[in-house]
């Protein structure tokens, strides 16, 4: 494909060709045996790329993890690295990409040195930070952040490249220092707005202790998110509130019950998180059983039995000869 044809496609002049070009680039990346490196990529770029160029998102996390790993065997998330490695956390206090790159631009993150193609020399200029949220510059910055953090974590000597060779299941040779440290971050994606901060694409996530989490329901429909947050804030440092049912710390529950404004007189429904999970599973099992029973009744009705929608009884009529 000529540069002119590619430019025409990228300008949106041929939508079908553009889709084909995107799929081609995706296939080349998938088959390149090179690691995929992103920043906070799970809910944005990664899922969108998977859906547009690979497959429709499956209904379960387990299926999603398995399919993603088959397409991109090695993935690194720079936000996950910045949030979890102690050597980095002590020096990089903000993991948003622009702030992180800024903090990685000074000592002790002098390695490695980057040399740009002449057509992109602006990416290394002092004014380059104005380009954040430009796709190419964000991609470049993510790669820079990854390299600088890994050089520091693994203490890679000046001039020595990072060992980005694929992980070998049955390792027969000693693992390099870089490879040893990379294994800690491989195929783990940062997850925001969740008490499960990591999605592990090749294994189980660490168990989360939710013994201090409670489920709150049965409150007035007029209550908004800020209503519960405002009641809890004087008593707890943080509460996560989502959807029409709220999951809150037990201290927050007690605070609401004791609130002198009258909130404490409301018939709130409070459950331990583990009780809520069990109740949810029981409800799903009951709904499934009802659906199965309903399907059986409808099948019988087709054979001559008529379902009375009002009282749920079944009148049986002899089959016509």
Contact between 306 and 317 (Cβ < 8 Å): yes
Q: Could you please state the CATH topology (level 3) that the domain comprising 209-321 is classified under.
A: Alpha-Beta Plaits (3.30.70)
192-248 pLDDT, tens per residue?
Answer: 877 788 999 998 888 888 777 777 777 677 777 777 777 766 665 444 544 444 444
**Would you state the pLDDT for residue 113?**
84
Q: How far is CA 84 from CA 92, 97, 179, 198, 316, in A?
A: 11, 15, 17, 10, 66
Burial class (CB in 10 A: 0-12, 13-18, 19+), 106: exposed
Domain range summary for the chain, segments of one domain joined by +: 77-200, 209-321
CA atoms within 13 A on the CB side of 109: 21
Residue from 19, 75, 18, 66 nearest 46 by CA: 75
DSSP codes, 73-124: S-EEEHHHHHHH-HHHHTT----SHHHHHHHTTSTT---S-----GGGGGGG
Residues of the chain with pLDDT under 50: 1, 6, 9-10, 168-170, 237-239, 241-249, 251, 260-265, 312-319, 321
| Bond from prior residue into 278 cis (ω within 30 degrees of 0) | no
pTM of the predicted model over 0.85: no
**Would you state the pLDDT for residue 168?**
45
Burial class (CB in 10 A: 0-12, 13-18, 19+), 156: buried
């Amino acid at each position: 494909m000529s540069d002119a044809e590619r430019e025409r496609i990228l300008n949106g002049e041929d939508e079908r060709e553009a889709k084909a070009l995107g799929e081609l680039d995706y296939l080349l990346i998938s088959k390149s045996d090179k690691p995929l490196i992103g920043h906070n990529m799970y809910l944005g770029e990664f899922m969108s790329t998977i859906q547009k160029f690979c497959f429709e998102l499956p209904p379960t996390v387990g299926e999603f993890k398995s399919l993603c790993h088959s397409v991109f065997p090695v993935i690194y998330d720079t936000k996950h690295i910045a949030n979890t490695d102690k050597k980095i956390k002590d020096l990089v206090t903000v993991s948003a990409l622009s702030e992180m790159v800024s903090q990685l631009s000074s000592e002790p993150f002098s390695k490695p040195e980057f040399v740009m193609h002449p057509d992109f020399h602006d990416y290394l200029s002092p004014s380059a930070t104005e380009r954040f949220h430009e796709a190419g510059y964000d991609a470049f910055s993510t790669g820079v952040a990854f390299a600088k953090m890994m050089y520091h974590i693994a203490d890679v000597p000046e001039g020595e490249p990072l060992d980005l060779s694929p992980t070998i299941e049955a390792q027969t040779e000693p693992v390099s220092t870089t490879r040893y440290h990379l294994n800690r971050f491989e195929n783990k994606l940062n997850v925001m707005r969740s008490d499960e901060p990591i999605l592990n694409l090749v294994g189980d996530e660490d168990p989360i202790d939710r013994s201090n989490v409670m489920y709150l329901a049965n409150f007035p429909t007029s209550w908004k998110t800020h209503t519960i947050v405002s009641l809890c804030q004087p008593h707890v440092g943080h509460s996560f509130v989502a959807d029409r049912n709220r999951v809150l710390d037990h201290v927050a529950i007690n605070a609401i019950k004791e609130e002198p404004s009258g909130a404490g007189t409301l018939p709130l429904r409070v459950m331990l998180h583990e009780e809520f999970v069990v109740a949810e599973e029981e409800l799903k099992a009951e709904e499934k059983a009802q659906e199965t029973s309903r399907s059986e009744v409808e099948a019988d009705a087709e054979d001559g039995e008529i379902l009375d929608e009002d009282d749920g009884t079944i009148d049986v009529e002899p089959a016509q000869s």
